[in-house]
């Protein structure tokens, strides 16, 4: 069994040598074939030079260097695409994830799980800037996705390669892979991991990242539930808006008839026109989305289902 470790790097030149030695020690004990893929996200310090030196001395060290800064998700996606292992383990490169947890991830995968997610139960980060936004975001993600994982933001996870290779990642969507896997019939579990204080530099991610995660969550939810039936999404909201518009219009007419309010003294006619227009626009968008969806599937010979296995065909 070959294992691929994916490590996005941005300005971590001081952490890289220590993490490299820790990974070597862990895999020496495991006695498994492995590769470590470092993805340099256009670091502005000496990270690339350190990685080139490591790669020169060890053929199991592989380096992907980006032309410009593209973000953690893009770095993970590139690493996954180039990985050749049956097991893929992404981690942070800032030493906060502990490589000594890797054997425990592998044990869980051996029990038949497709994804093992890390849980930073005793997280060593600032409360207001990192931990509080994380708690709120994780609660929202659990509620919307229905997948009960405590820590979606933990980068350290383990995947069987066949469950993750076809996943295309954008934005901040790498954290939603466990939910994606669950929606497609994969088995997920989580383990408590050792989360260590940052030793060098400062975090590259702040509280503003939480808002991007929420926006990506909306996209993920739409793609998972309404990708092959977008009219149900747009049409449902459109009919609700139409209903509110018609109700507002009828209520304004009633108030006029019983001489309680004239049309010019109540905003209901304006609301009625607004809701009706929005409803018509949303239903029209649903029709257009349906046509785009059909082009998406039929032009690439895709299907709205996935076959796990066949027997005697």
- Of 225, 244, 278, the position where a domain reaches its end is 225
Residue for token digits 């991991």?
193
Question: Does residue 244 fall inside a structural domain?
Answer: yes
- Domain with 134, as residue range(s), is 2-225
**pLDDT value of residue 174:** 76
Q: Which two tokens stand for residue 172?
A: 């901040």
**pLDDT value of residue 38:** 94
**pLDDT value of residue 105:** 95
Assign 89 to helix, strand or coil. Answer: strand
Q: Is 128 in the same domain as 186? A: yes
Question: Does residue 311 fall inside a structural domain?
Answer: no
**pLDDT value of residue 73:** 84
**pLDDT value of residue 128:** 58
Number of domains in the chain: 2
Tens digit of pLDDT at every position of the chain (313 positions): 799 999 999 999 999 999 999 999 999 999 889 999 999 998 888 899 999 999 999 999 999 999 888 888 888 888 988 899 999 999 999 899 999 999 999 999 999 999 999 988 887 765 555 666 677 777 777 877 778 888 888 889 999 988 887 777 766 677 778 877 777 678 899 999 998 887 776 665 555 566 777 777 777 777 777 777 888 888 889 999 999 999 999 998 988 888 888 887 888 889 999 999 999 999 999 889 888 888 877 777 766 655 655 555 6
Q: Is 107 in the same domain as 40? A: yes
- Of 225, 247, 279, the position where a domain reaches its end is 225
Q: Is 166 in the same domain as 285? A: no
Closest CA to 116 of 163, 158, 87: 158
Question: How many whole angstroms separate alpha carbon 42 and alpha carbon 70?
Answer: 8
- Cβ atoms of 219 and 178 closer than 8 Å: no
Question: How many whole angstroms separate alpha carbon 91 and alpha carbon 157?
Answer: 7
Closest CA to 72 of 206, 218, 204: 204
Question: How many whole angstroms separate alpha carbon 20 and alpha carbon 180?
Answer: 31
**pLDDT value of residue 33:** 93
**pLDDT value of residue 137:** 75
User: Can you give the length of the chain in residues?
Assistant: 313
Question: How many whole angstroms separate alpha carbon 129 and alpha carbon 211?
Answer: 13
Report in angstroms the alpha-carbon separations of 32 from 61, 115, 145, 219, 260: 15, 19, 35, 38, 81
- Cβ atoms of 93 and 36 closer than 8 Å: no
Q: Which two tokens stand for residue 99?
A: 């490589």
Find the CATH number of the domain harbouring 184.
3.90.550.10
Q: Is 6 in the same domain as 110? A: yes
């Amino acid at each position: 069994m070959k294992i691929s470790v994916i490590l996005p790097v941005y300005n971590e030149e001081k952490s890289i040598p220590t993490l490299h030695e820790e990974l070597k020690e862990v895999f020496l004990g495991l006695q498994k074939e492995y590769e470590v893929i470092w993805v340099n996200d256009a670091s502005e310090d000496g990270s690339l030079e350190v990685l080139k030196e490591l790669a020169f001395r060890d053929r199991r060290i592989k380096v992907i260097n980006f032309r410009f800064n593209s973000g953690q998700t893009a770095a993970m996606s590139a690493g996954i695409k180039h990985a050749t292992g049956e097991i893929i383990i992404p981690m942070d490169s800032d030493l906060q994830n502990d490589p000594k947890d890797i054997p425990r991830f592998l044990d869980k995968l051996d029990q038949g799980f497709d994804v093992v997610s890390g849980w930073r139960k005793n997280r060593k980060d600032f409360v207001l800037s990192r931990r509080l936004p994380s708690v709120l975001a994780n609660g929202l993600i659990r509620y919307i996705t229905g997948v009960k994982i405590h820590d979606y933001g933990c980068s350290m996870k383990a995947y069987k390669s066949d469950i993750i290779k076809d996943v295309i990642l954008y934005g901040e969507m790498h954290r939603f892979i466990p939910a994606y896997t669950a929606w497609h019939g994969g088995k997920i579990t989580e383990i408590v991991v050792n989360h260590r204080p940052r030793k060098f530099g400062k975090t590259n991610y702040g509280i503003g990242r939480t808002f991007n995660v929420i926006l990506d969550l909306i996209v993920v939810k739409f793609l998972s539930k309404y990708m092959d039936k977008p009219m149900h999404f747009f049409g449902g909201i459109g009919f609700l808006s139409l209903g509110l518009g018609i109700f507002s219009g009828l209520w304004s007419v009633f108030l006029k008839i019983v001489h309680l309010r004239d049309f010019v003294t109540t905003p209901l006619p304006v609301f009625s026109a607004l809701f009706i227009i929005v409803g018509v626009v949303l239903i029209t968008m649903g029709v257009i989305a349906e046509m785009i969806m059909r082009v998406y599937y039929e032009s690439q010979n895709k299907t709205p289902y996935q076959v796990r296995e066949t027997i005697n065909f």
